[in-house]
Amino acid sequence: MTDQDIDPATMRKQYRSEIVLEETLAEHPMDQFALWFQQAADSHLFEPNAMVVSTATPDGRPSSRTVLMKQFDGRGFVFFTNYASRKGRELAENPYAALLFPWHPISRQVIVTGTAARIGRDETAAYFRSRPHGSQLGAWASEQSSVIGSRAELDRRYAELDARYPEGEQVPVPPEWGGLRVVPEAVEFWQGHENRLHDRLRYVLDEGEWRVERLCP
């Protein structure tokens, strides 16, 4: 390894923020998420809808990657991807997933655990049609997570599709592409504070009702 100029062990930030108390939380974690998501957006964070999705094979080998959360409501969080990708295949075999929203500039993170399921084809089609033409073609051009010989091969596939479906022409939804909804079983709201005395408030489903518990930081 080369010599490092920056030593991560010496990097330390003091977090200054309001204490999060149980009584101020919404009853439903998705309402609390809506509030924090709005505050993250108001703070002009770059892509506050970017989240890390972790999946695992049936024998417990984990993998993570960033995706963009595109919809959320009382049912959960939706992102769009290729169902034949690594994450898509892992979730088909083992639906347990974790999501992490890393809102570092405002000293917050939200961590969700739950199960993922495909959304309806009509819902996927509605979102696909709202995407820019180039992104629609890109979804066809890329067999996500498979090995490809070169960049040129990818560009050639895209050019072929662009010739077949020029701008203005309707692009069909790729059969292997669509939305996945992560339905939460637990949602942790983390707020950083000074002296590492952070707030960690976790909603857990308890016989169909959401209960909040506080975790040590």
Interface residue list for ligand FMN (CB under 6 A): 47, 50, 63, 65-68, 79-81, 85-87, 144-145
Nearest-approach distance from CB 43 to ligand FMN, in angstroms: 18
Parallel, antiparallel, or unpaired: how do β-strands 96-103 and 76-82 relate? Answer: unpaired
Q: Quick one: tokens of 216?
A: 């040590």
Take residue 182 and report the two structure tokens written for it: 């992560």
Closer of 65 and 157 to ligand FMN (Cβ): 65
Minimum distance between the CB of residue 145 and ligand FMN, rounded to whole angstroms? 3
Cβ 64 to ligand FMN shortest distance, Å: 8
* AA letter at 154: L
φ, ψ for residue 102 (rounded to 5)? -95, 85
Catalytic residue among 16, 61, 151, 196: 196
Chain centre to alpha carbon of residue 140: 22
Phi, psi at 48, each rounded to 5°: -65, -15
Nearer to ligand FMN, 111 or 201 (CB): 111
Nearer to ligand FMN, 87 or 198 (CB): 87
User: Any catalytic annotation for residue 196?
Assistant: yes
> Which residue in this structure is represented by tokens 């909040």?
212
Residues that are catalytic: 196
